[in-house]
Amino acid sequence: MARPAILTVDDDVTVSQAVARDLRARYAERYRIIRATSGAEALAALEELGRRDHPVALILSDHRMPEMTGIELLERARPIAPGAKLLLLTAYADTEVAITAINEIGLDHYLMKPWAPPEERLYPVLDDLLDDWDRANSQRFEGVRVVGNRWSERSYDTRIFLARNHVHYQWLELDTDAEAQRLHGLFGASEGGLPLVLLPDGTVLHGASTLELASALGLHTTTEAALYDVVVVGAGPAGLAAAVYAASEGLRTIVIERDAPGGQAGQSSRIENYLGFPNGLSGADLSHRAATQARRLGAEMVLARNVQSLELRGSIFALSFDDGSEIESRAVVVATGVSYQLLTAEGLADFTGRGVYYGASVSDARTTEGDDVYLVGAANSAGQAALHLAQYARRVVMLVRGESLEASMSRYLVDRILASDRIEVRLRTEIVRGGGSDHLEWLTLVERDTGTQQDVSANWLYAFIGAKPRTDWLAHVVARDEHGFILTGPDVGALGGVDGPGWALRRPPFLLETSAPGVFAAGDVRRSSMKRVASAVGEGSSAISNVHLYLETV
């Protein structure tokens, strides 16, 4: 943290220099001493300190200044430097004014001139005030701060990106937090410029894209080379496993991830059936460990970049990004996973990121504290999210189309959900519409068997339904089934009516090889995958064995 500032203000240059000299003699090692000779100059200095996020511990001002009195200055300084101790230097004739200021503007203390000798008249007072300020600010947050509206989709995306990339941040709600309002006013962010992101180095971002945010944070967003042995597209469990094994076996490896390491698994609050972790672990912890391991072994990882297309150039593959740049590789592993299906009920599309969310990160739960939360889905991911949200929400209502949880959810999760007095399971129930003003405010539910409809108040709706593979960028490049899942190994060419080319070589495709020789698929994006973290990890490592076999043939 930058040294806190002590600002001294006096229009008499000689007096100003003398006060600053005495302050430096005692406090220069712990505090930055700043001198101003007018109220306007002092306010400008405070605003600049605020823009640089430098704390102000104390403002010491003379009262009798011609353009702005000391009390006027301190009153105007209070919202610019909240928490700073305010001290007035005044003549005997102005003591009544100073006493009034204690009540009216929160003046902390006043001293009558002269203050000499400082050891007796100045330092004891300042020591007490500064000790009080130090105690109040000992826990001052030093990470990234995000100012925004909780019903803003971009603010939500920013928070999720930071959380999933393990960037410690502080969320300041603009509608309710005084510090958020101060920062918003100080940096002049318009509603369209939210969220306002303040980095520890003084960088200020207004409504930044994910790529801009990642670059400002120093995350790796550009590639280091033009040609690689293997490019892994996607950093979920399958992609991270592929990166670990490829890098450890000497292949020049790069992982391209459009969001953050972990995929859907990275958002899980607790994975309890992963081998070797009897107490379970969070998806974020698992993905962080795997990403760290991949980097340590030499894999390059590029974040916040989206691969737009794949092209074969002789024996080399070219992958293009959305900014027009590209890289080349001798082999490709596609591990882009799946995304949740969008809810089709009337009105819900208008509130994505503003009350309607797909998946739920661990950090989401605290924002729902004391509220009712509705959750659609009955797979393990939905069960894990329901249990985590129930730790904070007043009530979690699970809306399930089927007749039971057991049909699609692991038994250990079912038992815990049914035992929770804060989770209500409504079977054979769907959403038919939703609405609100600037955010989701209500839902209409329907019982499938009776057709009975019910309107409920709802600000929070989380969806965990279906699985849509992220393979549009591979259309006509590799064979996919009618749902977009990639065909591999024995499935290549076995199905009719799918897009993409058939197998053209005399040798059969390797187990995880697609219809394009040298392009492999692993994890949830692959047809017939098990949709489990452990199997995705196994497929990612197996894909690299296939890559070695392929590279031996070219």
Identity of the residue numbered 536? A
How far apart, in Å, are the Cα atoms of 33 and each of 5, 24, 29, 338? 6, 7, 10, 56
Contact in structure between 519 and 487 (CB atoms under 8 Å) = no
Contact in structure between 56 and 34 (CB atoms under 8 Å) = no
Domain 5-136 is of which CATH architecture?
Answer: 3-Layer(aba) Sandwich (3.40)
Contact in structure between 551 and 332 (CB atoms under 8 Å) = no
Which residues in 2-40 are b (16+ Cβ under 10 Å) and which e?
Answer: eebbbbbbbbeeebbebbbebbeebbeeebbbbbbbbbe
Task: Give the CATH number of domain 348-463.
Answer: 3.50.50.60
Which pLDDT belongs to residue 497? 47
Which pLDDT belongs to residue 498? 65
In a 3-state reduction of DSSP, which class is residue 403?
A: coil
- Report phi then psi at 431, rounded to 5: -100, 130
The three-point CA angle 76-82-84 to 5° equals 95
Interhelix angle 237-248/533-551, nearest 10 degrees: 40
Q: How far apart are CA 81 and CA 36, in angstroms?
A: 16
Task: Give the CATH number of domain 144-216.
Answer: 3.40.30.10
For residue 404, give the DSSP letter: -
Q: How far apart are CA 331 and CA 317, in angstroms?
A: 7
| Tens-level pLDDT at each residue, the chain (554 residues) | 578 999 999 999 999 999 999 999 999 999 999 999 999 999 999 998 887 778 899 999 998 888 899 889 999 999 889 889 999 888 776 778 778 888 888 888 888 887 888 998 899 999 999 999 988 886 666 789 999 988 888 998 999 899 888 888 999 998 888 888 888 888 876 666 889 999 988 889 999 999 999 999 999 999 999 999 999 999 999 999 999 999 999 999 999 999 889 888 877 777 888 888 887 788 888 899 999 999 999 999 999 999 999 999 999 999 999 889 999 999 999 999 998 889 999 999 999 999 999 988 777 788 899 999 999 999 998 999 999 999 999 999 999 999 999 999 999 999 999 999 999 999 999 999 999 998 999 999 999 999 999 999 999 999 999 778 989 999 889 999 999 999 999 999 755 546 778 888 999 999 999 999 999 999 999 998 888 899 999 999 999 999 999 999 98
CA R_g for the chain: 30
In a 3-state reduction of DSSP, which class is residue 425?
A: strand
As beta bridge partners, residue 366 has none
Domain residue ranges of the chain, discontinuous segments joined by +: 5-136, 144-216, 227-326+468-551, 348-463
Write out the DSSP string of 141-174.
--SEEEEE-TT-HHHHHHHHHHHHTT--EEEEET
Q: Are strands 196-198 and 109-112 parallel, antiparallel or unpaired?
A: unpaired
Q: Which helix (H) or strand (E) holds 65?
A: none
Which pLDDT belongs to residue 166? 85
Which pLDDT belongs to residue 460? 96
Contact in structure between 551 and 229 (CB atoms under 8 Å) = yes
State pTM to two decimals.
0.79
- Report phi then psi at 140, rounded to 5: -60, 130
Q: Which fold has domain 227-326+468-551?
A: FAD/NAD(P)-binding domain (3.50.50)
144-216 matches 348-463 in fold: no
Burial group, residue 190, by CB count within 10 angstroms (0-12, 13-18, 19+): exposed
CB under 8 A, 24+ apart: contacts of 110-114: 111/87, 113/89
Identity of the residue numbered 334? V
Which pLDDT belongs to residue 388? 93
Extract the tokens encoding 60.
């010491």
Q: How far apart are CA 519 and CA 546, in angstroms?
A: 10
Q: How far apart are CA 165 and CA 159, in angstroms?
A: 10
SS3 content of the chain, % helix, strand, coil (to 5): 35, 25, 40
Contacts with 527 (C-beta within 8 Å, 6 or more apart), sequence order: 480, 481, 485, 486, 487, 488, 491
* Cis peptide leading into residue 509 (ω within 30°): no
